[in-house]
């Protein structure tokens, strides 16, 4: 594996993946393990270090996909198991479910793990693959295509590949060079996030507490911490902007008094308060000739469904299979399986989020069902069309 390339003749590979994150690395790894030569062109000079970044919740089907590639040990060691969801309304429990309630589930838990730990685990596996080259700190500046492939001009030299994959995030430079457009819809309700040391004695679950129109979400994350996300009523927002974690503790007092006390007592160990803005975005096509868009280059979801990274990694598995099928059979239509299978599934999740009133309005009507009940399917099972694609031989 090389890490830098001087300008020179074109670098050739079956697949060139552009990106620095877990999505790019997972797709590159799977393409390599299908037996193809791969260049990973990373816009970042350095990959995110283990333990750095945010800690998304990986769902059992995603954990299974990672485990099948031998990517599990570091995640289990450094991540936090999450056993399910408890969702409380103002008058009591709205719903409680555990992963173990779902027969045939791949793992009896989800896992919160830092993006840096996942990135380093995937990078270590990628380094061991023959036929893989990793180029860091390279930006793609131009693109040409013909019937046989794609040629990327980068700041580290030119790369020629049968297929190129844009896994370089929402503002993907490669997607923009293809002319694929992005439709963006913005939610006008923000939320605020702090990370605090664990509140002692709590079950390791995603805990939701509604006080319509406000809602509180807490989830265990590494290392021994709790991510607290508060979606307040509109007239509470200014106080949060001015008052930081102290204002948050004040607002949480009537929703979760124990947490409010804990935030005050642990104030020296609580992170700054971060305002989260939410939007959905979708690429108008997932393929332009020999360029495929992947993960957040193709779509973005509202954070509160906990699906952004899960869906991106699942995309990677589908894309690698579709590219493999095309390269090995010579049937250029097989690559379209990726968009055909993944795009309706992801857009259905997006439509569902967009139509969820609590994400978009400050309606005072109390919820009658748990916020995550409609996500149970996505949190526990692989999309059947994707499962079928991955199970199929050839």
Residues that bind ligand FAD (CB under 6 A): 19-23, 44, 46-48, 53-54, 56-57, 115, 119, 167-169, 193, 276, 295-296, 303, 306-310, 312
Q: d(Cα 88, Cα 71) in Å, to the nearest integer?
A: 35
Residue (271 or 363) nearer to ligand FAD, CB? 271
Residue of 17, 364, 366, 352 lying closest to 165 (CA atoms): 17
Backbone angles phi, psi at 73, to 5 degrees: -55, -50
Residue (316 or 367) nearer to ligand FAD, CB? 316
- DSSP secondary structure of 227-255: EEEEE--GGGHHHHHHHHHHHHHHHHTTT
Q: What is the 3-state secondary structure (H, E, C) of 51-75?
A: CCCCCCEECHHHHHHHHHCCCCHHH
Give me the least distance between CB of 358 and ligand FAD, in Å please.
Answer: 17
Q: Which residue bears the tokens 């080259």?
A: 133
Residue (170 or 261) nearer to ligand FAD, CB? 170
Q: d(Cα 297, Cα 305) in Å, to the nearest integer?
A: 18
Give me the least distance between CB of 364 and ligand FAD, in Å please.
Answer: 26
Q: Which residue bears the tokens 């700190």?
A: 137
- For the record, the structure tokens of 62 come out as 């995603």
Residue (214 or 327) nearer to ligand FAD, CB? 214
Residue (222 or 264) nearer to ligand FAD, CB? 222
Residue (115 or 326) nearer to ligand FAD, CB? 115
Looking at the chain, how many residues does it have? 394
Give me the least distance between CB of 308 and ligand FAD, in Å please.
Answer: 3
Give me the least distance between CB of 148 and ligand FAD, in Å please.
Answer: 28
Q: Which residue bears the tokens 């500046």?
A: 141
Give me the least distance between CB of 38 and ligand FAD, in Å please.
Answer: 16
Give me the least distance between CB of 303 and ligand FAD, in Å please.
Answer: 4
What's the angle, vertex CA 235, arms to CA 208 and CA 353, rounded to 5?
45
Residue (303 or 389) nearer to ligand FAD, CB? 303
Supply the Cα-derived Rg of the chain in whole angstroms.
22
Residue (167 or 341) nearer to ligand FAD, CB? 167
Q: d(Cα 140, Cα 137) in Å, to the nearest integer?
A: 10
Q: What is the dihedral of CA 323, 328, 329, 330, to 10 degrees?
A: 80
Give me the least distance between CB of 143 and ligand FAD, in Å please.
Answer: 18
Q: Which residue is nearest to ligand FAD (CB)?
A: 21
Q: Which residue bears the tokens 């004695």?
A: 201
Give me the least distance between CB of 168 and ligand FAD, in Å please.
Answer: 6
């Amino acid at each position: 594996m090389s890490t830098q390339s001087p300008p020179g003749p074109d670098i050739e590979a079956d697949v060139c993946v552009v990106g620095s994150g877990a999505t790019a690395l997972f797709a590159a790894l799977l393409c390599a393990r299908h037996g193809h030569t791969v260049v990973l062109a990373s816009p970042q000079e350095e990959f995110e270090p283990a333990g750095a970044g945010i800690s998304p919740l990986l769902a059992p089907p995603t954990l299974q996909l990672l485990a099948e590639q031998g990517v599990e040990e570091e995640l289990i060691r450094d991540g936090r198991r999450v056993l399910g969801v408890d969702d409380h309304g103002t008058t009591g429990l709205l719903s409680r479910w555990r992963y173990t309630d779902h027969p045939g589930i791949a793992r009896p838990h989800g896992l919160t793990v830092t993006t840096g730990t996942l990135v380093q685990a995937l990078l270590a596996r990628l380094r061991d693959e023959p036929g893989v080259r990793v180029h860091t700190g390279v930006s793609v500046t131009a693109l040409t295509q013909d019937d046989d492939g794609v040629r990327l001009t980068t700041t580290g030299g030119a790369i020629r590949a049968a297929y190129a994959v844009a896994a370089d995030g929402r503002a993907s430079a490669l997607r923009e060079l293809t002319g694929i457009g992005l439709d963006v819809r913005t939610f006008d309700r923000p939320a605020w996030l702090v990370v605090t040391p664990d509140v002692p004695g709590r079950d390791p679950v995603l805990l939701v507490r509604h006080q319509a129109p406000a809602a509180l979400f807490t989830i265990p994350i590494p290392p021994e911490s709790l991510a607290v996300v508060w979606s307040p009523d509109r007239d509470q927002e200014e106080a949060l902007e001015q008052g930081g974690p102290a204002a948050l503790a004040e607002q949480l007092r009537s929703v979760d008094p124990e947490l409010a006390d804990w935030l005050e007592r642990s104030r020296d160990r609580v992170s700054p308060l971060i305002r989260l803005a939410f939007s959905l975005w979708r690429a108008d096509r997932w393929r332009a000739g020999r360029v495929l868009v992947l993960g957040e280059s193709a779509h973005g979801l509202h954070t509160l469904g906990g699906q952004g990274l899960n869906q991106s990694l699942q995309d990677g598995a589908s894309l690698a299979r579709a590219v493999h099928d095309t390269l090995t059979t010579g049937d250029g239509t097989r690559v379209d399986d990726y968009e055909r299978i993944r795009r309706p599934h992801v857009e259905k999740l997006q439509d569902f989020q967009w139509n969820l009133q609590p994400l978009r309005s400050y309606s005072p009507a109390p919820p009658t069902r748990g916020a995550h009940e409609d996500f149970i399917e996505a949190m526990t099972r692989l999309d059947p069309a994707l499962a079928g694609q991955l199970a199929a031989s050839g």
